[in-house]
Amino acid sequence: MSSLPEPLAACVDIGGTKTLIGLINPEGRVLARDRFPAANHLAPPEQVAQLVEKFHALANGAEVAWERVAGVGYSTAGFLNSERTLVFASPNQGNWRDAPFKALLEEAFHLPAYLEMDANAAALGEAWFGAGRGSQHFVYLIVGTGIGSGIVVNGEVLHGWRGTAGEIGHTTIEPDGPLCNCGNYGCLESLAAGPAIAQRARAAIQQGRKTLITELAEASELSAETVFRAARLQDEVACAILDKEIDYLGIGIANVITLLNPQMVALGGGVAVGGADLLLPPLRRAVRRRCGAWIDLEHTEITLSRLGDEAGLIGAGRLVWQEIQRGTVANFSQYNVK
Ligand SMILES: [Zn+2]
Query: 81-95 pLDDT, tens per residue?
Result: 999 999 988 887 778
Q: How far is the CA of 9 from the centre of ligand 1 (A)?
A: 34
Picking from 156, 130, 50, the residue whose alpha carbon sits closest to that of residue 308 is 130
- CA 86 to chain centroid, in Å, comes to 20
Hey, what's the torsion of the CAs at 307, 313, 316, 317, to 10 degrees?
Answer: -80
Which H or E run includes 138? strand 138-143
Distance CA 19, CA 316 (A): 13
Task: Identify the pLDDT of residue 94.
Answer: 78
Q: Strand 156-157 to strand 30-37: parallel, antiparallel, or no bridges (unpaired)?
A: unpaired
Centre of ligand 1 to C-alpha 171, Å, is: 7
Around ion ligand 1, which residues have CB less than 5 A away?
Answer: 170, 180, 182, 184, 187
| Ligand 1 centroid distance, CA of 76 (Å) | 20
Structural fold of domain 134-306? Nucleotidyltransferase; domain 5 (3.30.420)
Q: What CA–CA distance (Å, rounded) separates 46 from 50?
A: 6
CA of 178 from ligand 1 middle (Å) equals: 10
Whole-angstrom Cα distance, residue 135 to residue 127? 5
How far away, in angstroms, is 195 Cα from ligand 1 center?
Answer: 13
Alpha carbon distance 108, 95 (integer Å): 22
pLDDT at 303 over 70: yes
Distance (Å) from CA 203 to ligand 1 centroid: 21
156 CA distance to ligand 1 centroid (A)?
Answer: 25
Residue 330 has pLDDT above 80, yes or no: no
Q: What is the pTM for the complete model shown?
A: 0.93
For the cut 70, the answer to whether the pLDDT of residue 3 exceeds it is no
Sketch the domain layout of the chain as residue ranges.
Answer: 8-124+309-326, 134-306
If you measure from the C-alpha of residue 89 to the centroid of ligand 1, how many angstroms do you get, rounded to a whole number?
Answer: 17
pLDDT, tens digit (0-9, with 9 covering 90-100), for 135-178: 999 999 999 999 999 999 999 999 999 999 999 999 999 999 99
Residue 161 Cα to ligand 1 middle (Å):
20
Q: Which residues pair with 114 in a beta bridge?
A: 73
Q: Tell me if domain 8-124+309-326 and domain 134-306 are identical in fold.
A: yes
Distance 180 CA to ligand 1 centre (A): 5
The per-residue pLDDT of the chain, averaged, comes to 94
pLDDT for 299: 93
Burial class, 207, CB count within 10 angstroms (exposed 0-12 / middle 13-18 / buried 19+): exposed
| Class for the domain spanning 8-124+309-326 | alpha beta
Gap from CA of 249 to ligand 1 centroid (Å): 14
Ligand 1 centre and the CA of 110: distance in Å?
39
The answer for residues whose C-beta is within 8 angstroms of residue 146's C-beta and 6 or more apart is: 169, 181, 189, 193
Q: Could you tell me the distance, in angstroms and rounded to a whole number, from the CA of residue 310 to the centre of ligand 1?
A: 26
- Write down the pLDDT at residue 1: 46
Residue 186 CA to ligand 1 center (angstroms) comes to: 7
3-class SS of residue 252:
helix
